[in-house]
Amino acid sequence: MEILAFGVQSDEKPLIEKAFAGKHEVRCLDVFLNRDTAPIAAGYEIVSTSVNADLGGPVLQTLAAGGTQLIAQRSTGFNNIDLDVAERLALRVARVSYYSPYSVAEFAWTLAMAANRRVIRAASRTRDFDFRLDGLLGRDMHGRTAGVIGTGKIGEAFTRIAHGFGMKLLGWDVAENPACVELGMRYVDKERLLAEADLVSLHVPLLPATQHLIDKDALALMKDDAILVNSSRGGLIDTSALVVELRAGRFLGVGLDVYEAEAGLFFLDKSLEGVDDDTLARLVTFPNVIVTSHQAYYTEDAVGQIIDATVKNVDDYLAGRHSENVLVPARPGP
């Protein structure tokens, strides 16, 4: 059977082809799945998609009409998928429920420390042989307070690193993680965490209840010299409200690996085009802001685990097995 994989990065392609070798043929496309590209999938029973795929109702209808029966998404998040429509169309949808939490946690810390120590500005200066230290003053993390919003696997990994720095630990989640408590974390309400933390890092999924979790009011609670990091989902932050705060001169640093309107931008080369997103354009002009293109998960270890799980999802589908990765089981439509 030939499988069609959308949104495959050049580094990812040989790993996918090797993982499926001897089992199935795989056709890798660098284009992302959306309304315009969905017709390409006609005749493919199995389609694999990336995190920024558009799997709304119209795209799902096109896939179903073309004979697709399994959508194997190569990510943990699934806020881009209309699961109700998939169920009505009897489309089976599977995701990757687990991959290395260290990839994201370590990158979140990379953003935090790069913002804190002005690494981007320093590296840019030295390329011009400007070796001044003016404007590069950072601060020790030891003894300061880390606020971790979401203490699941990734949040726990982030907390362990914070503990290694010798930081005080505050956490907020619907349930306490015993491993974090053992490290000395105190669980408090979100408002207290935001008010007391020197570093706030977001590790919750994007759900209706967490959309704009960090809004105007939440940002106002934070210290003027706090660091804010988001390596989870862009929609957790009201970006327009964040820009207002940044214009007012607030925050020591902000590190964003995700952006709420990243679809159609991230993973693509827009360097020769005009980007008409005024909010993003303004955001990247602030000297204390670092924006990266949703790369926190992008390590050999994590990508390998994602691909292995995708292969397993395909094998399970063909064998009629159900696993924890299945979001929507195939069943008769209306």
Catalytic residues: 233, 262, 294
Residues in Cβ contact with 171 at an 8 Å cutoff, skipping those fewer than 6 apart: 147, 148, 149, 151, 155, 159, 177, 180, 185, 186, 187, 188, 193
Distance from the first to the final alpha carbon of the chain: 28
- DSSP designation for 202: E
E-state strands within the chain = 2-5, 25-28, 46-49, 70-73, 92-94, 145-149, 168-172, 186-187, 199-202, 227-230, 253-256, 289-291, 326-328
- At residue 5, φ and ψ (nearest 5 deg) are -115, 120
- DSSP designation for 145: E
Nearest to 100 by CA among 324, 296, 331, 321: 296
> Please, are residues 15 and 48 in contact by the beta-carbon 8 Å criterion?
no
**Residue 24's Cα: distance from chain center in Å?**
29
Instruction: State the Cα–Cα distance between residues 106 and 103, nearest whole angstrom.
Output: 5
Paired with 200 in beta bridges are 147, 228
Paired tokens of 303: 């990508």
Instruction: State the Cα–Cα distance between residues 223 and 273, nearest whole angstrom.
Output: 37
Decide: residue 172, CB within 10 A, 0-12 exposed, 13-18 middle, 19+ buried.
buried
